[in-house]
Amino acid sequence: MMGILSANRVTKEFLPGSGQGLVAVHDLSIEIEEGEFLCLIGASGCGKSTLLNMFAGFLQPTAGQVRLRGEPITRIEPRCGMVFQSYALFPWKTVRGNVEFGPKMKGIPASERRRIADRFIELVKLKGFEDRYPTELSGGMQQRVTLARVLAADPEVLLMDEPFAALDALTRQVMQEELLQIHESQRKTTVFITHNIDEALILADRIVVMSARPGRVKATVANTLPRPRHVSIQLSPEFATLKAEIWRHVEEEVRKHVAPAE
């Protein structure tokens, strides 16, 4: 069976002139199943963001193909909704205006749009903040707006590029738990980038460890922790076993990255 989203022997090389001329991703193949929550984990600079940007159609692969439902992705693909680490909210729109953006682009009438927006604003627990502007909100709240905005646009796949990296540890934990609940109720296919093993184990069905530059798939680990999950799963012995296994794969790559001369 074919997955909903796939990368087939993808290479991405940034040419000199538009950077330093480096191979960010090399001959990488990956297959994402419908409804799956996949975490990509790896040291910084392993090409995980590059891969995600190719799935969104922001970048084109140098060789190979990325496909959504079997069709090659050749331009910015609204069916792959991106959650940016830096939120990318429209500062001139209120919370409601931001969340309504996707439905508005689809030509959904105003009253229906408002209903959709209200539903997702409630889902991310921002009821009462509909008329605020993004600059009036904390980082955690802004990231919730981003999540509501992308969910309201109803893409087939959610792409999340270290969405909680800019948040403090406590807010981050709360956001993980809420994302867990949202995913378990909506079952939307999700590709989530992180460099945090705990985060990957809490959220994912499957964890792909990427090698240091050039990015390749180093290992794939099925996350056998039961669902529905709660962040307290971090205290279980199975969690510790899985964490040790992933760390074994990651450690080598991190060391390579930290001391590339050896």
Binding site for other proteins (CB under 8 A): 56, 58, 76-78, 80-82, 84, 86, 88, 90-93, 101-102, 105-106, 133, 135-136, 149-150, 153
In the complex with other proteins, which residue's Cβ is closer, 90 or 247? 90
- What is the C-alpha separation between 34 and 156, in angstroms, rounded? 9
Torsion of CA 238, 244, 250, 251, to 10 degrees: 170
Torsion of CA 144, 149, 155, 156, to 10 degrees: 10
* Residue type present at position 241: T
In the complex with other proteins, which residue's Cβ is closer, 92 or 237? 92
In the complex with other proteins, which residue's Cβ is closer, 151 or 179? 151
Q: Minimum distance from CB of 147 to other proteins (Å)? A: 13
Q: Minimum distance from CB of 152 to other proteins (Å)? A: 9
Q: Is 21 left (phi over 0), alpha (psi -120 to 50) or beta?
A: left
In the complex with other proteins, which residue's Cβ is closer, 2 or 76? 76
Q: Minimum distance from CB of 83 to other proteins (Å)? A: 10
In the complex with other proteins, which residue's Cβ is closer, 24 or 73? 73
Q: Minimum distance from CB of 156 to other proteins (Å)? A: 12
261 Cβ neighbours under 8 A, 6+ residues apart: none
Q: Minimum distance from CB of 85 to other proteins (Å)? A: 10
User: N- to C-terminal Cα distance for the chain?
Assistant: 42
Give the chain's count of helices (H) and strands (E): 8, 10
